[in-house]
């Protein structure tokens, strides 16, 4: 009788188990997997040799071999589980970041506190000047109907003066056209309507706020910009009151060296109308690029209220008269701080902004 092919099985199994025990890395484990438990393993070779045995012997040997395989495979799987766990712990450890490694004193700079923009600062200063002159401060909506932005201001549809304001339309629909206000003048209408409704005439108010025009931004134009509107409705108001108010404001805000002038102009809601200009603060009136070598900067418009506007809001123009003005807040900030380019106000360049803090 030939010796059983499994004569050495116990010893072979013991050797396999000690090889498995000696594996110290997952790479090594993968390298030897086929020779320990796979097709190239000793146990697989033994399996093949069982074919030469008698059926009874083969059955018994097969069972013995299967048990050996189960033990070896279980040891192998357990070894893999342990090595995987070690590898996971190792990578967790090596990936760990100590706060001290990433946050150095150099990185933890205290946050600089913010500050208002030049436009906000300018608006507040302008309000202060007018409040000191006896005006109250009001505001109005940035989105208006066509009626408030144009019609009530004596600018009917298709009036050629509409070309003075390149308008952003929000809705062209029925029943009313809606626009982003192109100037703060519609706030005059709201204020007069309210005063009529509440019986609170006279009015001495300024209304600052944001306006919008389809302008291409350049050194002296922004498509979203700010104006401050002024409105006085009282008894016996004349153009002289307007001119005096404008000059008093100019000196109070820009200082005694800067003066104002009114040039004849046209606005549908005032008669007579004027352009309001101040000495160029960049060249002090000498003439420079910013003032197109005129020595003067146009800030806005003004005039005596047209009776047609009083009619639109139901104020009796035989009893009341008034004046209005509207000028650029951004332009005032530009002149006061001698900015050659207004786009600096919207570009968020910290080199510019930090100079204001």
Q: Where are the alpha helices (DSSP H) in the chain?
A: 9-21, 26-36, 42-49, 55-95, 99-102, 118-132, 146-149, 186-198, 239-254, 307-313, 329-336, 350-353
How many residues bind to ligand DAH according to rule CB under 6 A? 13
Q: Which is nearer to ligand DAH, 209 or 326 (CB)?
A: 326
Which pair of tokens denotes residue 242? 């307007």
List binders of ligand DAH among 268-287 (CB under 6 A). Answer: 270, 273
Q: In this chain, which stretch among 17-25, 76-84, 90-98, 318-326 interacts with ligand DAH, using CB under 6 A?
A: 318-326
Residue closest to 231 by CA, chosen among 307, 98, 323, 95: 323
**CB–CB of 122/332 below 8 Å?**
yes
**146 binds ligand DAH, rule: CB under 6 A:** no
**203 binds ligand DAH, rule: CB under 6 A:** no
**321 binds ligand DAH, rule: CB under 6 A:** no
Bridging pattern class, strands 270-279 and 296-305: antiparallel
**229 binds ligand DAH, rule: CB under 6 A:** yes
User: Is residue 89 classed as helix, strand or coil in its secondary structure?
Assistant: helix
Which pair of tokens denotes residue 352? 């510019």
Q: In this chain, which stretch among 44-52, 233-241, 277-285, 298-306 interacts with ligand DAH, using CB under 6 A?
A: 298-306
**186 binds ligand DAH, rule: CB under 6 A:** no
Q: Which is nearer to ligand DAH, 13 or 146 (CB)?
A: 146
How far, in Å, CA of 327 to CA of 31, rounded?
Answer: 83
Task: Indicate which single residue of 232, 302, 312, 315 sits in contact with ligand DAH (rule: CB under 6 A).
Answer: 302
Task: Indicate which single residue of 192, 258, 325, 345 sits in contact with ligand DAH (rule: CB under 6 A).
Answer: 325
How far, in Å, CA of 291 to CA of 299, rounded?
Answer: 11
Q: How far is the CB of 320 from ligand DAH (least distance, A)?
A: 16
Strand partners, 305: 270
Torsion of CA 251, 256, 258, 264, to 10 degrees: 50
**324 binds ligand DAH, rule: CB under 6 A:** yes
Task: Indicate which single residue of 209, 285, 303, 333 sits in contact with ligand DAH (rule: CB under 6 A).
Answer: 303
**212 binds ligand DAH, rule: CB under 6 A:** no
- Site residues, ligand DAH (CB under 6 A): 183, 185, 229, 267, 270, 273, 300-303, 324-326
């Amino acid at each position: 009788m030939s010796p059983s092919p499994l004569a050495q099985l116990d010893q072979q199994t013991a050797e396999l188990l000690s090889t498995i025990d000696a594996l110290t890395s997952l790479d090594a484990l993968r390298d030897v997997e086929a020779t320990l438990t796979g097709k190239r393993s000793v146990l697989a070779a033994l399996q093949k040799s069982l074919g030469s045995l008698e059926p009874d012997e083969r059955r018994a040997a097969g069972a013995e071999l299967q048990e050996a395989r189960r033990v070896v495979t279980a040891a192998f799987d357990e070894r893999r589980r342990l090595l995987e766990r070690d590898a996971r712990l190792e990578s967790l450890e090596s990936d760990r970041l100590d706060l001290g490694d990433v946050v150095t004193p150099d990185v933890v700079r205290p946050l600089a506190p913010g500050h208002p923009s030049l436009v906000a600062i300018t608006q507040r200063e302008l309000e202060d000047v007018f409040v000191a002159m006896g005006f109250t401060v009001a505001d109005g909506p940035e989105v208006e109907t066509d009626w408030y932005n144009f019609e009530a201001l004596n600018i009917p549809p298709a009036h050629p003066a509409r070309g003075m304001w390149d308008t952003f339309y929000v809705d062209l629909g029925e029943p009313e056209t809606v626009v982003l206000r192109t100037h703060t003048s519609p706030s005059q209408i709201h204020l007069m309507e309210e005063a009529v409704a509440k019986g609170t005439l006279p009015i001495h108010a300024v209304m600052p706020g944001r306006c919008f025009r389809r302008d291409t931004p350049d050194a002296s134009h922004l498509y979203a910009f700010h104006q401050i509107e002024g409105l006085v409705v009282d008894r016996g108001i004349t153009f002289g009151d307007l001119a005096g108010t404008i000059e008093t404001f100019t000196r109070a805000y820009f200082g005694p060296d800067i003066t104002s002038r009114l040039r004849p102009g046209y606005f549908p809601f005032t008669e007579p109308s004027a352009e309001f200009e101040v000495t160029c603060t960049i060249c002090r009136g000498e003439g420079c690029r910013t003032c197109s070598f005129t020595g003067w900067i146009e800030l806005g418009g003004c005039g005596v209220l047209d009776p047609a506007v009083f009619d639109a809001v139901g104020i009796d123009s035989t009893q009341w008269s008034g004046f209005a003005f509207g000028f650029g807040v951004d332009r005032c900030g530009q002149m006061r701080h001698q900015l050659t380019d207004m786009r600096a106000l919207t570009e968020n360049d910290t080199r510019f902004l930090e100079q204001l803090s």
